[in-house]
Structure 1
């Protein structure tokens, strides 16, 4: 497995990397992005110098062609009836042969950003091809309903030592590796990096005050399905030129893979909560086993509930600490993440979900003690369906990992139907990227989860049982005394309760549930769920957990 030091990316770059996460049944997450600390840049971005309306494009191509969203959808539907063509870019050896360090040495020249001279809120920069980016994407600027090709030149980049800039002179760019948008997100006098599209269909975004963490994808195909995963890629982008004082930007993309084609529309509104409205039209040219819609990926190495096997001065290391689901019934589900001994899947069946996301609830820097990675500032990401999504399930896959360089968490909506050749999916959803995507929830939350060996602490260990401690806190518990007839709705599969106690914690409004559980079938995981009930009324979200194999 190729390994790249994520911390180096966090402190020196803003790009995507390519590595495969392997387990007995799962290979996932190729082309993953990493952070933008101090405005540094991983791949050396390419300047996206779009042609003015009516000006000739490079190579004598037409100056502009009409663009229409529904026409793009129709084109991608027709393409699904054709054979897939995999055409890596024809890159010269000096570019194709770049390694990680050499690729990082090529930097975009900020003064060449598209729209910079127009003093618009948004700026666009494109990434240099080469290294793991053998495929390039075509970028077009939409002006007045016409799409104009963006041009790139070797002079748009700085080639730092030990590279010789002369080697790259005259390179005719077949396209970019990807692009990113900048916007005055945190202060009015500086355009921060806002969103990056680079590698397959991966992208990352930022809300005010956050640093890069979780990623999203356009589509996941056969992820954790027991067969080789397919990685659709965005092959072409059409980006509307923003007005001078525009607060949002809109663009479109073509998506391709051997068994899928699709059209995507993105509208981005930056802010404390950066909102991304997505409309997708997906067409299957062949059968798939599992289709992942609105997929999210992240990293969880260890945390308060799961740090077995890690000798590290930091208490926790993760981009996100839990999966949240808002069910059609209004029930809120919280599932703390884990780093299992082997691939672990959790499936939450649902019809027309109201939302799901990977969240970073713990915002206390003292719980990370990492002044470089700043895990306390990683964004939470929430997916809110627009309209009905029908029957399906939210799937959570957790992959064993021994390094924070590896993204080992994936979550997506898995439709029950529409998996055969000729099927199509039209869907819309809103993504929220922010420090807090939950707002004021009228239910107590599972504040913390701790696990350990069963039995009496420091006295008698019971190796056949596992202890789970869950603290609930929230406004619905305020003012309740210890005499309140609080009860817990507890359920589990493949396990039996050995000991259970629910009590109010003295001095505050929190309630603590402690359960000792014995596994029944040693070869299967134990599933648990719990919620606080008072006189028939649910006062908390539903805490869920999977006790898999111990490391």
Structure 2
């Protein structure tokens, strides 16, 4: 919110990425049979052989970023050019020409398209192509873009560009004969990816520094990228990136495999110039406006509006946590202490169009994103930040891993993890019931005036072994509460379904922050994941 240091950029990221992503899905699919796939369609896109060529490897990049961390930070320079005066409307009138896609050809498994400089993107990003252990600059000019309407007359022909704003990778994701956008890197260290039949939603970042700590947040940026030329018909591609900020430098390696669930294996090697209060590893950014538990405050025909509906944590001991997301009345945060977690992520569990009724945004197609640590991350916490929002164009949800170990200037911290983007299953473990839905409303008996001021929470647990039990099974709900009191509690099977419903009436003093937790047990075992929720009473 305005006045909250370090949060305003997070809130407004969606207004940029959402507009570009939605257009990209329509504009950047390229048929294999088009002229773009003729051998002669793609122009020479890198520096001539031997010109500006340098040896390259991940270790070479790592050494360079380690050395750079020993020197003072230099803020990126904004470049001047015909694009400097681009407004939002101007920027929408510029598209990459798909016939100029890099790597295009009859044996291509991927192609590369660039985002233009201008509007919010005044700091050039440099790109290089890596082949045979040698990197050469990828060059872009005005010949690579299509300029329409209001900007066409203002653009010089054959003008070399000093860099680009970012790039996207296309591959045969949904059809064998069509190259769809798979991943886009654009703005600071933000990037987004799609699984099969997904539409763009939440984003990831390279690193978070001092997020939501009541002080200015640093936004590290990927200043350079190296794209490794894939083999013919390749099913994966490797991208390297240099990360820079006032306090930190980093060397990143991304191994990207498109599919039903698009996977990205990330290795981050970080070097700190000075001490920072907190770092966030594998930060995720999403949007949650309303659902069945807070819809009453929104006059909207749609039942739900969100890119993600919950935070999932798969703990190191095999236990599972589901924390439904909030749009709180004030800035809210939660820490979930963990040791060597299996995974965590922001998920979109509800995949039914009927739950959203939005034929334009199609929130049922927004990807879930799961972070799976590769190796032992040790002790730390998953931190969730929820920011009040009244518009769906605002990203107001942030989640990331906070390691207990603090960064030490002059030393390297390395983290490896896998990102899985797609319509991920609600729970990969069939014997544990998962939280199907969380609803909330006025407490007490329905249809009767609520005189005690309670708030009702209704939690549905679906699937697993719990779904096989009869209504009279010896199961119970284990409920915990802090900051309030339980006025009423009931657990029952819903006839004709495969889920059980837990109903809680909660009382709390006005303005209290109430922490709730619940799971179902029976027959000597836990039968459901852990439902956790934070409620701020009015």
Moved more, 378-387 or 445-454: 445-454
Match of 2:177 among 189, 201, 205: 189
Match of 1:223 among 161, 186, 211: 211
Does the alignment pair 1:401 with 2:401? no
CA deviations on 1:256-289 (whole Å, 9 max, x unpaired) are 0001110000000110010000000011112212
Cα drift, residue 36 of structure 1? 3.3
1:483 maps to which residue? 472
Provide the TM-score with structure 2 as the length reference: 0.93
Cα drift, residue 40 of structure 1? 3.6
Moved more, 263-272 or 169-178: 169-178
Give SS of 1:546's match: strand
Give SS of 2:60's match: helix
Moved more, 448-457 or 435-444: 435-444
CA deviations on 1:364-390 (whole Å, 9 max, x unpaired) are 101111111110000010000011112
C-alpha separation in 2, matches of 1:95 and 1:507: 61
2:372 maps to which residue? 384
* Contact kept in structure 2, 1:185 and 1:270, CA below 8 Å: yes
CA deviations on 1:235-268 (whole Å, 9 max, x unpaired) are 0001100111100000100000001110000000
1:16 maps to which residue? none
Any gaps of 5 or more consecutive residues in structure 2?
A: 29-41
Seen in structure 2, the aligned counterparts of structure 1 residues 154 and 28 have a Cα distance that, compared at 3 Å, is closer
C-alpha separation in 2, matches of 1:87 and 1:513: 54
Give SS of 1:103's match: helix
1:297 maps to which residue? 285
C-alpha separation in 1, matches of 2:392 and 2:432: 32
2:33 maps to which residue? none
Moved more, 440-449 or 266-275: 440-449
1:12 maps to which residue? none
Aligned pairs (5 A) from 1:434-449: 434-438=422-426, 440-441=428-429, 442-449=431-438
C-alpha separation in 2, matches of 1:464 and 1:172: 66
Aligned pairs (5 A) from 1:65-464: 65-92=54-81, 94-117=82-105, 119-169=107-157, 171-438=159-426, 440-441=428-429, 442-462=431-451, 464=453
* Contact kept in structure 1, 2:467 and 2:500, CA below 8 Å: no
C-alpha separation in 1, matches of 2:8 and 2:524: 45
* Contact kept in structure 2, 1:284 and 1:419, CA below 8 Å: yes
C-alpha separation in 2, matches of 1:185 and 1:420: 41
Give SS of 1:50's match: coil
C-alpha separation in 1, matches of 2:514 and 2:442: 15
* Contact kept in structure 2, 1:23 and 1:399, CA below 8 Å: no
CA deviations on 1:406-425 (whole Å, 9 max, x unpaired) are 11111000112224533532
Match of 2:25 among 39, 45, 62: 39
CA deviations on 1:290-322 (whole Å, 9 max, x unpaired) are 211000111111111221320000111111111
C-alpha separation in 2, matches of 1:37 and 1:174: 24
2:35 maps to which residue? none
C-alpha separation in 1, matches of 2:338 and 2:70: 31
Seen in structure 2, the aligned counterparts of structure 1 residues 512 and 523 have a Cα distance that, compared at 3 Å, is same
CA deviations on 1:190-217 (whole Å, 9 max, x unpaired) are 1000100000000000001101001000
C-alpha separation in 1, matches of 2:425 and 2:501: 25
After superposition, the CA RMSD in angstroms is: 1.9
* Contact kept in structure 2, 1:121 and 1:183, CA below 8 Å: yes
Moved more, 67-76 or 270-279: 67-76
C-alpha separation in 2, matches of 1:409 and 1:423: 31
C-alpha separation in 2, matches of 1:118 and 1:189: 11
Give SS of 1:530's match: strand
Aligned pairs (5 A) from 1:57-72: 62=52, 64-72=53-61
**How many aligned positions are there?**
518
C-alpha separation in 2, matches of 1:102 and 1:160: 9
Seen in structure 2, the aligned counterparts of structure 1 residues 137 and 294 have a Cα distance that, compared at 3 Å, is same
C-alpha separation in 2, matches of 1:166 and 1:99: 13
1:27 maps to which residue? 8
CA deviations on 1:420-477 (whole Å, 9 max, x unpaired) are 5335320100000011255532310111111112222221314632111111111311
C-alpha separation in 2, matches of 1:288 and 1:107: 39
* Contact kept in structure 1, 2:189 and 2:221, CA below 8 Å: yes
C-alpha separation in 1, matches of 2:408 and 2:278: 10
Any gaps of 5 or more consecutive residues in structure 1?
A: 1-20, 57-61
* Contact kept in structure 2, 1:443 and 1:539, CA below 8 Å: yes
